[in-house]
Amino acid sequence: MNDPEIRTLLYPLLQGGVYVDELPTGTTRADVVHITEQFMHGYELKGDADTLQRVAKQLPCYGRAYDFVTFVVTAKHLPKLLPQLPEWVGVLVASSEGLLAHRPALYNATVERPAVAALLRLEEIKQFLLAQGLPGVSTYRRRDVLNFLRTTQLVSLSALAHHVRRQLMGRMEERLAFRAERKAERQRVAARRRKRPKRK
C-alpha cells in the first residue's frame, strides 16, 4: 500500500473538527493532524515503499506538540517500528482490507508549550499572549516568544493549546470556504462559456 491509499482509509475515521495534511511540526511535517476543540492527534503514515529512517526525528517533534500520536503503517514495518515507539503511541496497520488497530493511542503527557505555539504564525501567538495581559511580548521575534513560553509560569498549557486548536480549525474552515468559492466561480465561468453562441 502507498500513502494515498492509506490516507483514503484514514480520513473517514477522523470524525469531528478538521484534519490538516502536511502540517509543519518542529523540524518535520506531520502527514495528517486531526484537530478538534478537545485535542490534536498527529498521524504518521508509512507505506510499503517508505523507510523508518526518519522516525527518530519525527517522534520527538510530534510528542512535544500533539495530545495523541499514531503511526499508520503496513505490516512489514511492525517488527522494526514497535521497539522505537513509547507505549503511549498508537499503531494502526493498513492493508487492502482496511485499518486494523494494533494498539490505541494513549494521552501524551510530554506536550510542551513552545512546540504547541510553534504550530501558529507569530502574530497569532502574540495575539494570545497580549490577551493574557503580557504586553511585553509585542516586540518579540519568533525565537524570543518561544523562549518565553519555555520558561514562563504565566501561561497555562491548556489555555494555549485551546487557542492553537481554535486558530488552526478556523484557518482550515477559511481555506475550505475559499476553495468552495473558487470552485463555484470556475463553474460560473464554464457555464457562461457554454451559453455563448458559436461563431460561424
Q: Where are the beta strands (DSSP E) in the chain?
A: 18-25, 28-35, 40-46, 68-74, 90-95, 98-103
pLDDT in tens, the chain (200 residues): 999 999 999 999 999 999 999 999 999 999 999 999 999 999 999 999 999 999 999 999 999 999 999 999 999 999 999 999 999 999 999 999 999 999 999 999 999 999 999 999 999 999 999 999 998 898 999 999 999 999 999 999 999 999 999 999 988 766 666 666 777 777 787 777 777 665 55
Nearest by Cα to 69 from 97, 95, 90: 90
Q: Which three cell numbers stand for residue 171?
A: 484557518
Q: Is 76 exposed, middle or buried (0-12, 13-18, 19+ CB in 10 A)?
A: middle
Q: Is 176 exposed, middle or buried (0-12, 13-18, 19+ CB in 10 A)?
A: exposed
CB 112 within 8 A of CB 160: no
Q: How far is CA 113 from the centre of its chain?
A: 16
Task: Provide CB contacts within 8 A for 4, sequence distance 6+.
Answer: none
Element (H, E) at 187: helix 157-195
What's this model's pTM, rounded to 2 decimal places?
Answer: 0.85
Residue 44 and residue 29: Cα distance in Å, rounded? 9
